[in-house]
Every structure is written in C-alpha cells, then in structure tokens.
C-alpha cells in the first residue's frame, strides 16, 4: 500500500526535485480570471466546498451537472451555425446548404442597418448593406429569407436586440403565410439590450423604452408563441470585449436579474416566463476554466431564481444556454491554427453542457466564411458528437478535483461581482456609472499587455511565428447587393397600400405613448409591409435616441 501523505508533502519531496530537472516552462500558471493553478488537486482542495452539497445529479437543482437528466445520451446539442450575409436570397441559399449538410437549427445574422433600425436606402446605411449579416427591410425580405424552410420543423435563433420585437413580428408573420400556427414556432430572439450598452453598442432608444420592448416580447410570447425563448441573455459579447470568465458569468447574470425584475414589475409572474429565458456564452481557449464557468453559471442562476425571485417551477431555475466559440481568438497569422482553437473551444462547450453550439470558421479573421470553411466548422461539431465519446456520459468531468475546485472559484468570484453590481443599484444603475465597462476594459488591457510582453503565448502571433500565409478564395459581399436592395425597397413602396401603412403607423405612435403591449401592432405593421426604418422612425419620434451612455 502506498504511503499516505498530504499534497504539500508530496509537492515538496517529489514534485520539486522533478521540476528542477526539467525547467522548461517559466510562465505563471493561472486562468484567464487570474486564479492561480496548483500543480495537482486532491480531496484536500475540495473538502468543505459547497460543491459537496450542491453537486447533485444532472437534471436536479442546482443543475451544476446539467439541466437534463440524460443530456446528450437523449439527443445531441443543436448544431446551429450563425449565418447571414448579402440579401435574403443569398442567405436563403446558405441556409439550405447548411441544413443539407446536417445542421439542426438556423441562426440568423443581420446587417448593421437592420440592427439599428435603418432601411437600406438610409444615407447612414451607405456601405454597410449585407456586410456583417443579411439586410432585412420588410416582410418581403423575411419571406425570401425563409423560402422553402418550414418554420414548424426548424428552430431559428435571431441575433437581434434593439429591433428584436420587429424581427420577431416578421417571423410570426412569415409563419402565418406558411400556414404555421404561432404556437408551433420554436426558436430564440436575443433581445438583450443591456449588453449593448455595456459591450457592443447597437442600441437605439433610451433604457426605459428599450426595457419595455424586452418585456413586451415576454408578455406576447407567453400567450401567442409559447415555445419561443424570449431572450438570450448574452455573455458572449461581454467576453469578446475583454472580460474574464468570472466577469462574463457575473455581468450576464446581473443583466438577467434586471430583466426578470423588469418583467415582474410589468405584471408578469416569474414562473410565467422564467422557463423561456435562455443564455448565450462564449467558449474561450482555457478549456477547463470554460467547463467550470458553465457549471458555475448554472448553479448561480438556480440559486438566484429559486431563492431571490422565489420561482417555484423547477424549469424557471434552469440556465439553458447557447455557446459560440470565441471569435476574438481567431488569428490572421497561420489561420489553419483556428481550426484547432475552434475544436478545443467547442469541446469545452460540450463538456460544460451547452444546449446549442456555433463553431467559428477558420477564415473569419479575414472575412465572412466561405462554404468550405463553414463545412469544416460544422464537421468539427459532428466529429465531437459522434467520434469523441464525450457525449456518451453526463458531465464527464464531474468529480474531478480540479474541475470542482475551479467551478467553486468561478462561482465565488462571479458572486463578488454580482454583490458589487447589486450594491450599485443593479445592472442598469451600475452600467450608468461605468462599472462593468471599466472592469472589462481593465481586463482587456491586462490581457493585451501579457500578449505583447510574451507572458501569454499566442501560437503563430508572439511565438512560433512563420512566413506570412496568403489566403485566397475569401468570400466578398457583392457591392451590387446595396443597389438591388434599394431598388427592391423602392418597388415595395410603390406597390403596397400606402394608406394602410400610414394608418397602422399612426396607431403605433399612439400606442407607444401609452402602456399597451406593442407586439400585436408590430405584427400588423409588418403585415402591411411597413419597413423597419419606418417603424423605428415612429418610435424615435416618441422615445428619442440614446446618445453616448456613459461619459468617462
């Protein structure tokens, strides 16, 4: 029998001499959140931690090990590649291509004018039509986007925030035209305006009316589109702006608290919408910290919903999330390395129990991805699902001394940030003081310093550099897209019933000045073929626009 001894004794007598013989690594051992990493973890490290009481079983409170008892033994995660560029017809062709190659859900990217409530013929939209997503001006475009795609048999995620209510109204209208009952529509609308103020910037209106639109979607979907996930509370953009893993969890959940509170104050019962909330996280390079992050987030949210908001339905306690691999880690140097990074990040998401996943393509450091690189990204998920074995058992890393210790560290660090946000008056009050923004900026600055000083190795960038790689065959958006889109818009305006459009927009203006739920009117507006710019123009007149949110 081996001699019984403590960890520190082993490190002193055995590890120390071994390291002296092989001094190959000089960098500090710590995670992205700054947690120092020991050489080995033992039962000593997890003795007395909350995980001993909170680990539990998958599908049971506090859901540390997953929200479903069977996880991927029942079904794989949804493979949902984010796509959209050019005009609706071009994006529709890409969607059919992805579905034919085994994708199991759609994820729609919209161009910046659509995100900011501008029509394609708006002078401010010049040069941006179809560049970072698909251009959607009216229901006519939405009909073309989903042509030949049965909305009762596909799950669709729409990454849209300021104009989320209008795009959801268009989706409902397309379903009606296909003969699909809105109650059969399944998917998610991001609808997360707070992270726009914190990290991304595509907001239009001041916070109060923006939050009203969020809760209007909650109330409308509860009655009309019950299978729809009414918000995807996003840590992805917070992480991509430079946050650590612990900050990503904390600031995302703090936003979630603000949305739940706003919905309750609007008259909704927490259990009437709590089960339709979803989240969206990044998966970054530190594989084991990312796994711990996802597990800690589930546990924290379960505690928030059960103990703070007093939700009684276990479905309201579950944190269900979509994951996207980290675009900020993709490098223009040695771009083939991005395939490896994406595979590692995707594996972390699966080991962490994601419900759906997007894998980035190797050429996204240069342009929108080609069909070939998109296929490699999708195949990455399929190889993990069918060949790696990690989906055969639930929470395969659960019980690892290091994973459980690290889950606890992320949870504790995130809770400290949550407490600070709460002390400042909540997410909205904290961001108006610049708290989250400063914390993220400080983390981003520290990271960049470490890269430039060589303390953090980026393969092919600051170590193991090679000759410049010439990349060919990149996808370029056809400049003629803007001309075609504006011509289509002009034709629509000349053929639609202008009196009907004017009448419904007037009714919208009156309603926007009062308290009623605006979603039914948005559906009427889009069915009359009012454009997104016209609808947002009405709301701008009533609510105004939000300027720079925080003066530093």
- Which residue has tokens 């308290």? 515
Distance CA 97, CA 287 (A): 31
Distance CA 150, CA 179 (A): 10
Beta partners for residue 189, in sequence order: 158
Q: Once rounded to an integer, what is the mean pLDDT over residues 321-348?
A: 97
Distance CA 196, CA 326 (A): 18
pLDDT tens digits, 428-456: 999 999 999 999 999 999 999 999 999 89
Give the containing element (helix H, strand E) for 427: helix 427-432
> pLDDT at residue 18 above 80?
no
Q: Are strands 106-109 and 356-358 parallel, antiparallel or unpaired?
A: unpaired
pLDDT tens digits, 502-542: 999 999 999 999 999 999 999 999 999 999 999 999 999 99
Beta partners for residue 322, in sequence order: 280, 356
Q: Which of 19-33, 304-318, 536-550 shows the lowest mean pLDDT across its residues?
A: 19-33
pLDDT at position 270 is 97
pLDDT tens digits, 174-212: 999 999 999 999 999 999 999 999 999 999 999 999 999
Return the CA Rg of the chain: 24
pLDDT at position 549 is 46
Phi, psi of 222, deg, nearest 5: -55, -35
pLDDT tens digits, 225-282: 999 999 999 999 999 999 999 999 999 999 999 999 999 999 999 999 999 999 999 9
Contacts of residue 408, Cβ cutoff 8 Å, sequence gap at least 6: 46, 49, 50, 51, 296
pLDDT at position 22 is 61
Distance CA 315, CA 68 (A): 10
Distance CA 464, CA 459 (A): 6
Phi, psi of 444, deg, nearest 5: -65, -40
Per the CB < 8 A criterion, the answer to whether 121 and 486 are in contact is: yes
Give the Å distances, CA to CA, from 101 to 88, 104, 290: 20, 9, 28
| Domains within the chain, CATH numbers bracketed | 70-324+406-452 (3.20.20.240), 492-543 (no CATH)
pLDDT at position 48 is 75
Question: What percent of the chain is predicted at pLDDT more than 90?
Answer: 82
> pLDDT at residue 331 above 50?
yes
Distance CA 199, CA 379 (A): 31
Kindly report the average pLDDT of the chain as a whole number.
92
- Cα of 158 vs its chain's centroid, Å: 10
Distance CA 527, CA 505 (A): 12
> pLDDT at residue 336 above 90?
yes
> pLDDT at residue 353 above 70?
yes
Contacts of residue 201, Cβ cutoff 8 Å, sequence gap at least 6: none
Q: Once rounded to an integer, what is the mean pLDDT over residues 42-47?
A: 87
Distance CA 496, CA 477 (A): 29
pLDDT at position 534 is 98
Distance CA 524, CA 536 (A): 14
> pLDDT at residue 372 above 70?
yes
Identify the CA nearest to 249 among candidates 403, 415, 50. 415
Distance CA 466, CA 500 (A): 63
Q: What is the DSSP string of 470-488?
A: P--S-----THHHHHHHHH
Per the CB < 8 A criterion, the answer to whether 160 and 189 are in contact is: yes
Helix %, strand %, coil % for the chain, to 5?
50, 10, 40
> pLDDT at residue 365 above 50?
yes
pLDDT at position 51 is 56
pLDDT tens digits, 87-139: 999 999 999 998 998 888 898 999 999 999 999 999 999 999 998 899 999 99
Beta partners for residue 83, in sequence order: 108
Confidence class of residue 81 from pLDDT cuts 50, 70 and 90?
confident
Distance CA 176, CA 526 (A): 12
User: What is the DSSP secondary structure assignment for residue 323, as one 8-state letter?
Assistant: E
pLDDT at position 426 is 97
Highest mean pLDDT among 38-42, 153-157, 494-498: 494-498
Per the CB < 8 A criterion, the answer to whether 220 and 207 are in contact is: no
pLDDT at position 167 is 98
pLDDT at position 21 is 64
Q: What is the DSSP string of 354-395?
A: -SEEE---TTTTTSSPPHHHHHHHHHHHHHHHHHSSTTSSSS
pLDDT tens digits, 457-502: 999 999 999 888 877 787 777 788 899 999 999 999 999 999 999 9
Give the CA diameter of the chain.
89
Identify the CA nearest to 214 among candidates 275, 258, 156. 258
pLDDT at position 551 is 34
pTM of the model as a whole: 0.92
pLDDT at position 23 is 55
pLDDT at position 50 is 60
pLDDT at position 80 is 86
Confidence class of residue 2 from pLDDT cuts 50, 70 and 90?
very low
pLDDT tens digits, 389-431: 999 999 999 999 999 999 999 999 999 999 999 999 999 999 9
């Amino acid at each position: 029998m081996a001699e019984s001894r403590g960890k520190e004794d082993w490190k002193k007598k055995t590890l120390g001499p071994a390291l002296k013989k092989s001094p190959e690594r000089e960098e500090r051992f710590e995670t992205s959140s700054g947690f120092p990493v020991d050489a080995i973890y033992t039962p000593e490290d997890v003795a007395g931690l909350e995980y001993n009481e909170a680990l539990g079983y998958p599908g049971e409170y506090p859901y540390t090990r997953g929200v479903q008892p069977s996880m991927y033994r029942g079904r794989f995660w949804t493979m949902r590649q984010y796509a959209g560029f050019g005009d609706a017809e071009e994006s529709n062709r890409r969607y059919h291509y992805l579905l034919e190659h085994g994708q199991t859900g759609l994820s729609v990217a919209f161009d910046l004018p659509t995100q900011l409530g501008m029509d394609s013929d708006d002078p401010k939209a010049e040069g941006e039509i179809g560049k970072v997503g698909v251009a959607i001006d009216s229901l006519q475009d939405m009909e073309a986007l989903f042509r030949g795609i049965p909305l009762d048999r596909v799950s669709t995620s729409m990454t849209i925030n300021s104009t989320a209510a209008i795009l959801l109204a268009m989706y409902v209208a397309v379903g009606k035209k296909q003969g699909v009952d809105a109650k059969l529509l399944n998917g998610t609308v991001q609808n997360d305006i707070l992270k726009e103020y914190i990290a991304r910037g595509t907001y239009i209106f001041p916070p109060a009316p923006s939050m009203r639109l969020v809760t209007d979607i909650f109330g409308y979907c509860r009655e009309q589109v019950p299978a729809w996930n009414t918000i995807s509370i996003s840590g992805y953009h917070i992480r991509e702006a430079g946050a650590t893993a612990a900050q990503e969890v904390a600031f995302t959940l703090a936003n979630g608290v603000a949305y739940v509170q706003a919905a309750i104050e609007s008259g909704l019962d927490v259990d009437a919408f709590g089960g339709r909330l979803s989240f969206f996280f990044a998966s970054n390079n530190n594989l084991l910290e990312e796994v711990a992050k996802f597990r800690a987030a589930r546990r924290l949210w379960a505690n928030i919903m059960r103990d703070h908001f007093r939700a009684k339905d276990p479905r309201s306690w579950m944190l269900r999330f979509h994951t996207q691999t980290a675009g900020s880690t993709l490098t223009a140097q040695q771009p083939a390395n991005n395939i490896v990074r994406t595979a590692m990040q995707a594996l972390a998401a699966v080991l962490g129990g994601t419900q759906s996943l997007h894998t980035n393509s190797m050429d996204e450091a240069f342009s929108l991805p080609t069909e070939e690189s998109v296929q490699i990204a999708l195949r990455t998920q399929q190889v993990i699902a069918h060949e790696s074995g990690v989906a055969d058992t639930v929470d395969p890393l659960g019980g690892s001394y290091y994973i459980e210790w690290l889950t606890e560290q992320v949870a504790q660090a995130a809770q400290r940030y949550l407490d600070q946000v709460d002390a400042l008056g909540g997410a909205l009050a904290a961001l108006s003081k610049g708290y989250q923004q400063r914390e993220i900026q400080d983390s981003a600055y520290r990271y960049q310093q470490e890269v430039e000083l060589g303390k953090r190795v980026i393969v092919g960038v600051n170590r193991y550099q090679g000759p410049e790689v010439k990349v060919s065959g990149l996808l370029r958006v056809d400049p003629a897209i803007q001309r075609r889109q504006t011509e289509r818009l002009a034709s629509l305006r000349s053929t639609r019933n202008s009196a009907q459009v004017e009448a419904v927009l007037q009714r919208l203006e009156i309603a926007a000045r009062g308290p009623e739920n605006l979603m039914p009117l948005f559906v009427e507006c889009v069915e009359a073929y009012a454009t997104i710019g016209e609808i947002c123009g009405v709301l701008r007149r009533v609510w105004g626009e939000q300027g720079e949110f925080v003066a530093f």
